[in-house]
Structure 1
C-alpha cells in the first residue's frame, strides 16, 4: 500500500466528495418534493393525474439511472435542449428518487386512519391544511426507515455520474487507476469516502426512527 500516493491524492477525493454530496443533496431534496406531490395525487385519487403518476413511477423504477442520465446529457441536445452535467445529475437523481420515495410516502399515507382526515375536515381545515398538518407528519414518521434507505440508495447511485463526465468519487478512482495503476489505493480511498458519507446518515436514520417510535408516532 503506497501511503505517499494516498496522502497526495486525498484532496482530490475530498473535492469529489463535495461534488457528490452537493449534487446528491440537491437531487434528494427535489426527489422528496416530487414524491410528496405524487403521493398526494395518489392519496386523493385525482383523476388523470393518478395515471400520469403511475406511468412516471413505473418508467423511473424500471430504467437504470445511467440510461436516464444518458438521455438527459446526450439525447436532449439532439432536440436543442442542453444542460450541464451537474444539472443532468440533479434532475436524473430526482427523477429516479422521486419514484422510490413516492412508494415510501404512499405506504405511510395508507397507515393514517381515514377518521383523521374526516375529523380535520369537520373542524374546518382545508384539504391542504389537513394534508400538511395532520396526515403528512404521521405518514412521514412511518416512512422514516424507507426514506433513509432511499437516501442511502440515491447517494450510492451517484457513482454512475462518471458516465457523463462528472468528477465524482468514482470518476476520480477510475482516473487514478487508469493513470497510475494504483488499484488498491484508489479503491481503498473510494470505499472509505463512501463510508464517511453514508455511515452517519445510516446511524442518524436509526436514531430518528427509535426516537419517533419512543414518542409514539406511527402507531
Structure 2
C-alpha cells in the first residue's frame, strides 16, 4: 500500500477546516445537551409530574430513534411546514436532542448515588430544597457523573459524522469529498482518523485527570 505523503501535506488545511466545523458542532451541542440534562434532572428532583412525564417520553423517543432520521426530519421534513433551517442548525439541534437524553440519564445516576444522609443533613441545617439541590446534590452528583458525561461528550463528537449526510462540511464530509475528487482513499482515511484522535484524546486524558482528582478529594487523599 503506497501512501502519497505530498498529497497528505497539501490536503491538511482542508481537514483543519473540517475539524473546526466538527468542533463547532460538538461544543455547541454538548453545552446544550448538558443544559437539557440538568433541566430534566431538576424536574425529577422537584417532582414536577407533568414535566417528568414529558421528559421520560422525550428520553425514550430520542434514544430509540436513529440520529440520521432525526436530522433528516429537521433538514428535509420541516420544509413541508415552511420551516427551512441550515444544515449546521439542524446538526446542532439533532445532536443536542440526542445528547440531552443521554446526559439526563447520566445525571440521574449521579443524583441517585447521593446518600440520603447528606440530604438529611442539609434539611437539618434548615436549607431549602433549592439550596440542597445547588449546594449538595448537584456538586456531588456531577462529580460522580463525570465518567458518564465524558463518555457522552466523546459519543457526540463521533456522532457529528452523521451530519455529513446534510452537506455540513465537517470531517466526514471532507473525507468523502477528498475521496470523490482525488481517489486518494488511504490518505483520506488516515487523515480523518488522525484528526479525530487529535480531538478525542485530549478530552479522554483531561477527563481521567479530573476524575482522579475528584475521587482522591472524596476520600481525603
TM-score range, shorter chain: over 0.9
Q: Output aligned runs, 1:65-214, within 5 Å.
A: 65-214=67-216
How far the C-alpha of 1:65 sits from its partner, in A, is: 1.1
Pairwise CA distance, 1:42? 2.1
Unaligned runs of 5+ in 1: none
TM-score by length of 2: 0.94
Following TM superposition, by how much is the alpha carbon of 1:127 offset from its aligned partner in structure 2, in angstroms?
A: 2.1
Distance 1:84 1:38 in 2: 27
Instruction: Tell me, in whole angstroms, the C-alpha distance in 2 between the residues paired with 1:194 and 1:63.
Output: 25
On the 8 A contact 1:43/1:106 being kept in 2, the answer is no
CA distance in 2, matches of 1:37, 1:83: 25
- Report the counterpart of residue 20 of structure 1 in structure 2: 22
Question: Shift of residue 75 of structure 1?
Answer: 0.8
Cα separation, 2, equivalents of 1:85 and 1:78: 16
TM-score w.r.t. the length of structure 1 is 0.95
- How many matched pairs? 217
Secondary structure of the corresponding residue to residue 67 of structure 1: helix
Aligned residues: CA RMSD: 1.2
Give how far 1:208 is off: 0.9
1:53 lines up with 2:55 in the alignment: yes
- The whole-number CA distance in structure 1 between the counterparts of 2:93 and 2:134 is 25
Q: Tell me which residue corresponds to 1:41.
A: 43
Q: CA offset at residue 134 of structure 1?
A: 1.1
Match for residue 30 of structure 1 among 16, 29, 32 = 32
Instruction: Note the C-alpha offset of 1:44.
Output: 3.0
